[in-house]
Amino acid sequence: MSEALVRLDEQAGVIRLTLNRPKALNALNSELIGELDATLAELETRRDLRAVLITGAGDKAFVAGADIAEMRDKTPEQARRFATQALATVKRLERLPVPVVALVNGFCLGGGCELALACDWAVASDNAIFGQPEVGLGVIPGFGGTQRLPRRVGPAMALDLITTGRKIDAAEALRIGLVNRVVPQGELDSLAEELAGQLAGNGPQAVRAAKQAIHDGQGQGLDNALALETSLFALGFAGDEQKEGMSAFVEKRKPDF
């Protein structure tokens, strides 16, 4: 029996997804995309889910891109179906109600960079390499890169990276806001464990509400976005989570969410 293309590990409601095609540098082919989509569909139903961390197997790549060998001979209509399939999976990842964090080790190019952009934020090892090199193949990014990258780093920087196809290291990715933190390669796993503990230790409904407020508020005017925040803040007082959190603070103990 072949090994799963998406490995799943869980710690206190925090799921770690590992894309598992290391010999192909975890390149996104139809089979991997389909398995990832099915996994995410199951996670959508989990009310106990706290957060999702996503990474790539091996020490060379997060995801080195889409599978060029699979794409090479596609017709325009076949290419449209492939991009539509991949984009639907990327959107499913983006729309999970809990924080989604990319753990980037090594190459994060093309479709891999687009996958990382769909995450709420990213941490990278110091050997990470980022880029959208599609123009060198005679195409443009097709999994959301032309839209999410400008929203992350600004239109001018996105145009720089996409139209030149140049690759950047982890330090520059941090400088332009593509990633949030950079750590030595050997410390990425320990950081992942630390993040899992931090994300699992906070009020789960509060964390979901914070993500909703930030994501939904981005598409609204400031007044409407502030009204959304007020509503979600007030809803936090409707359940036991707020009572436990504030009681623990007053009583100088750790909350039990």
Which are the catalytic amino acids?
A: 114, 134
Using DSSP bridges, classify how beta strands 129-131 and 107-109 pair: parallel, antiparallel or unpaired.
Answer: parallel
Nearest-angstrom CA–CA distance, 246 and 46: 26
CA gap 170, 53 in Å, rounded: 19
Integer Cα distance of 67 and 111 in angstroms:
9
Q: Which residue's entry shows tokens 């925040």? A: 229
Strand pairing category for 61-63 and 107-109: parallel
Class of residue 252 by CB neighbours under 10 A (exposed 0-12, middle 13-18, buried 19+): exposed
